[in-house]
């Protein structure tokens, strides 16, 4: 194998493929990235058996071939090369020569025969969505997945398609995040649970705007994201997702309209007095035209008031401040509506068309 590549374009491709290189594994071959050069295409391939990636890079092909190379070492060598044109050659003994005309490395590579290449996926069912929209959906929901492997379903997000609406749901037992997105076309009903790790990694490599599309193909076991020169394959989480409809209520006793930025900054200031080891709630007292935030901790106390527009009853309620901050940070609206029933029932932050809904459970507190 012999190819010549631009350093930056090669690095861009390696960075994408690295997303499917495991941090720890007992299978050394999974620490490798395959460079496959055939039929006039240079392809970088990685697979940790949960996520698999194929990405095509530009380059001058002098000799075709296929080789597996330790991914992180390969990345560091290319990153530290000083010139822009990189020549990569592999001989029959799987010794890889990497040179930019100034520096030269010889490293041991491997045959790609033992590498677990991506399984073929029948591309029947699919939807199309913009890269920007998919990245935003992930950003606005990913914070409320669980990291507890004992509740595997909660470590992923529900992607549910009905006609021309994509609903994405995440929950961790204390809160629920929901995004409803209008698609350009109508599709057959689909429901799948995509691992949170998959969504976090793909959001890092989606760089396109509203006009740059991702095609999502899905089977019973896998979801495949196809965009630009990259294929990103992931296993799905098996099982049935929680019936969240039973948890979502339209009832409320108190409704407020509040400036999101003011509320977020007030709660953020309150967290200055909370140590990580403490589980102190922020206590919110809502009266006719004001919302008062207070917190008492071993470090000190804080009290702050902002203006709101209120309908219904006064209420005194406590929340984990981090849960409120996480939701407020991903809402783009200048003003938000919050619905509450009583100090023990969930509160809902949602807009009128319910394109986003955030449910947060309150916590008990002592006044």
DSSP assignment, residue 221?
S
Whole-angstrom distance, CA of residue 37 vs CA of residue 189: 39
Architecture of the domain defined by 126-242: Roll (3.10)
At 229, is the secondary structure helix, strand, or coil? coil
Q: Name 218's Cβ contacts closer than 8 Å, sequence gap at least 6.
A: 125, 126, 190, 192, 224, 236
Work out the pLDDT band at 206, boundaries 50, 70, 90. Answer: very high
Q: Which of 180, 177, 170, 178 is nearest to 147 (CA)?
A: 170
Give this prediction's pTM.
0.93
Whole-angstrom distance, CA of residue 191 vs CA of residue 250: 24
Architecture of the domain defined by 2-108: Roll (3.10)
For 163-186, the three-class secondary structure string (H helix, E strand, C coil) is: EEEEEEEEECCCEEEEEEEEEEEE
Q: Which of 21-30, 146-155, 350-359 has the highest mean pLDDT?
A: 350-359
At 148, is the secondary structure helix, strand, or coil? coil
Domain borders along the chain are 2-108, 126-242, 248-360
In tens, the pLDDT along 330-341 reads 999 999 999 999
Whole-angstrom distance, CA of residue 337 vs CA of residue 360: 14
Whole-angstrom distance, CA of residue 351 vs CA of residue 332: 11
Q: Is the pLDDT of residue 308 over 80?
A: yes
For 14-61, the three-class secondary structure string (H helix, E strand, C coil) is: HHHHHHHCCCCCCCHHHHEEEEEEECCEEEEEEECCCEEEEEEECCEE
What's the CATH class of domain 248-360? alpha beta
Within this chain, domains 126-242 and 248-360 share the same CATH topology: yes
């Amino acid at each position: 194998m012999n190819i010549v590549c631009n350093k930056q374009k090669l690095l861009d491709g390696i960075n994408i493929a690295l997303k499917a290189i495991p941090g720890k594994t007992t299978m050394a071959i999974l620490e490798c990235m395959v460079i496959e050069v055939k039929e006039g295409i240079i392809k970088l391939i990685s697979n940790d058996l949960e996520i698999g990636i194929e990405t095509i890079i530009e380059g001058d092909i002098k000799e075709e071939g296929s080789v597996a190379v330790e991914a992180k070492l390969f990345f560091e060598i290319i990153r530290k090369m000083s010139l822009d044109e990189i020549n990569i050659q592999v001989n029959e003994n799987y010794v890889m020569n990497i040179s930019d005309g100034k520096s030269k490395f010889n490293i041991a590579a491997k045959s790609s025969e033992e590498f677990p290449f991506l399984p073929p996926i029948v591309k029947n069912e699919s939807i199309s969505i913009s890269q920007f929209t998919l990245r935003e959906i992930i950003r606005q929901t990913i914070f409320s997945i669980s990291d507890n492997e004992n509740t595997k379903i909660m470590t992923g997000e529900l992607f549910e398609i009905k006609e021309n609406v994509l609903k994405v749901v995440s929950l961790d037992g204390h809160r629920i995040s929901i995004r409803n997105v209008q698609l350009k076309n109508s599709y057959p009903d689909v429901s799948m649970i995509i691992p949170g790790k998959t969504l976090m990694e793909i959001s890092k490599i989606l760089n396109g705007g509203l006009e740059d599309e991702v095609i999502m193909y899905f089977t019973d076991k896998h979801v495949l994201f196809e965009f630009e020169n990259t294929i990103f394959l992931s296993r799905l989480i098996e099982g049935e997702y929680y019936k969240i409809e039973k948890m979502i209520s339209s009832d409320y006793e108190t409704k407020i309209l509040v400036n999101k930025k003011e509320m977020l900054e007030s709660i953020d200031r309150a967290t200055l007095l909370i140590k990580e080891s403490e589980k102190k709630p922020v206590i919110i007292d809502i009266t006719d035209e004001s919302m008062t935030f207070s917190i008492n901790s071993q470090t000190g106390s804080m009290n702050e008031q902002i203006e709101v527009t209120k309908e219904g009853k006064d209420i005194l309620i406590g929340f984990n401040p981090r849960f409120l901050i996480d939701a407020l940070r991903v809402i783009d609206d200048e003003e938000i509506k919050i619905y509450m029933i009583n100090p023990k029932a969930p509160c809902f932050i949602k807009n009128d068309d319910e394109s986003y809904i955030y449910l947060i459970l309150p916590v008990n507190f002592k006044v």
